[in-house]
């Protein structure tokens, strides 16, 4: 079926009562994918060590399952140690947020995998067929229903509040490298039906960030109903200051699906002094919420402590767990990009 077939929506997650919970809702487990594509990482061994640090930090809070190519399973087991489950499955790359399923629940004990069509961020890498099949493989392993959307998209391109509101960006899913023939209205409806939403808020995004074309998970994230953490635009020396301000301006005055006016908290990026290479991700927004905590990226700069205080103020009863991840950031993503939550 295509987007033009109205019969698709008669059996969409939304029509059947499913919705995607917020990331800060309780988790059953976290999914990750072991580093695989050598061309992405200057030092694959160092990147794997950073993945281990993130996985072990998450495992302090909740169960974790690491997907791994069968030929890499022995190495992954030796590096990860005990207490982390392995799922042997063919992989092309290691970004669970984008290739993994969007888990949706129906409020009656049912859970399903709602899948975008994965295209390696608009055909930037090849091959990607194994990653495109990863979401369905997870669903088959967990024996849950599958919903498949024709929209070329990635999980990092959305943030949801679990109460009907979705935030995404113009520069990503409307990009000519993904869905050139779709209108914004068509993408909006597809997101609502696929994730069980009631309202989509569009931010401008970031056309200058060419690895993901401005995924929202490097810009803004829901941290509570009606509350969004967004990158601030206070640094006059920041070359992306105008981009960040445009996103702030676009969110200001918006209401969520429940009619509440969105409140914003701002957070800086890590200082430019930590950046290595053209793809380096220095976003603190690209964090990960776990049961009872926040897994926060650390870059070894003064803004680490600033960001930690922002998270502690937002989550006063949670433990803020920092992880230094320079060898992940080199690949163009952060902690959020390499994780995917499965709701309880």
The string of pLDDT tens digits covering residues 8-34 is 787 999 999 999 999 999 999 999 999
Q: What are phi and psi of 121, to 5 degrees?
A: 60, 45
| Whole-structure pTM value | 0.96
Strands annotated E in 42-142: 64-68, 85-88, 102-105, 111-117
CATH 3.75.10.10 fits 14-343, yes or no: yes
Q: Point out which residues pair with 221 in neighbouring strands.
A: 229
Per-residue pLDDT, 5: 65
Q: How confident is the model at residue 273 (pLDDT cuts 50, 70, 90)?
A: confident
- Is pLDDT of 4 > 70? no
Question: Which two three-digit tokens encode residue 114?
Answer: 């709602």
Q: List, for residues 189-220, the tens digit of each pLDDT value.
A: 999 999 999 999 999 999 999 999 999 999 99
Residues in the chain: 344
Kindly indicate the confidence band of residue 3, based on its pLDDT and cuts at 50, 70 and 90: low
List active site positions: 337
d(CA 57, CA 322): 8
Question: CB count, 10 Å around CB of 287?
Answer: 27
User: What is the spatial distance between Cα 134 and Cα 149, in angstroms, rounded to a whole number?
Assistant: 14
Domain ranges of the chain: 14-343
Class of residue 280 by CB neighbours under 10 A (exposed 0-12, middle 13-18, buried 19+): buried
**Is the predicted pLDDT of residue 1 greater than 60, yes or no?**
no
Percent of the chain with pLDDT over 90: 94
């Amino acid at each position: 079926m295509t987007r033009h077939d109205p019969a698709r929506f008669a059996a969409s997650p939304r029509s059947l009562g499913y919705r995607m919970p917020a990331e800060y809702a309780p988790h059953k487990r976290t999914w990750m994918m072991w580093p695989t594509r050598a061309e992405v990482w200057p030092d694959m061994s160092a990147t794997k060590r950073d993945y281990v640090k993130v996985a072990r930090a998450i495992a302090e809070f909740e169960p974790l399952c690491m997907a791994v190519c069968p030929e890499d399973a022995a190495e992954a087991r030796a590096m990860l140690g005990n207490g982390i489950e392995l799922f042997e499955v063919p992989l092309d790359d290691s970004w669970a947020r984008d290739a993994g399923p969007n888990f949706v629940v129906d409020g009656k004990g049912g859970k399903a995998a709602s899948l975008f069509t994965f295209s390696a961020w608009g055909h930037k890498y090849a091959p990607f067929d194994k990653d495109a099949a990863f979401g369905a493989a997870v669903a088959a392993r967990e024996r849950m229903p599958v919903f498949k959307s024709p929209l070329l998209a990635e999980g990092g391109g959305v943030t949801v509040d679990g109460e009907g509101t979705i935030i995404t960006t113009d520069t990503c899913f409307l990009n000519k490298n993904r869905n050139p023939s779709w209108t914004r209205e068509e993408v909006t409806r597809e997101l609502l039906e696929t994730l069980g939403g009631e309202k989509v808020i569009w931010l401008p995004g970031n056309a200058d960030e060419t690895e993901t074309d401005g995924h929202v998970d490097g810009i803004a994230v829901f941290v509570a109903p009606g509350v969004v953490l967004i990158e601030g635009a206070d640094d006059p020396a920041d070359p992306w200051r105008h981009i960040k301000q445009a996103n702030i301006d676009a969110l200001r005055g918006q209401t969520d699906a429940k009619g509440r006016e969105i409140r914003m908290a701002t957070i800086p990026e890590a200082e430019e002094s930590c950046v290595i290479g053209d793809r380096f991700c220095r976003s603190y927004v690209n964090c990960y919420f776990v049961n009872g905590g926040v897994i926060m990226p650390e870059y070894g700069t003064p803004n680490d402590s600033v960001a930690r205080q922002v998270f502690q103020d937002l989550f006063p009863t949670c433990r803020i767990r920092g992880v230094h991840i320079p060898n992940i950031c080199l690949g163009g993503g952060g902690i959020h990009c390499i994780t995917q939550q499965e709701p309880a």
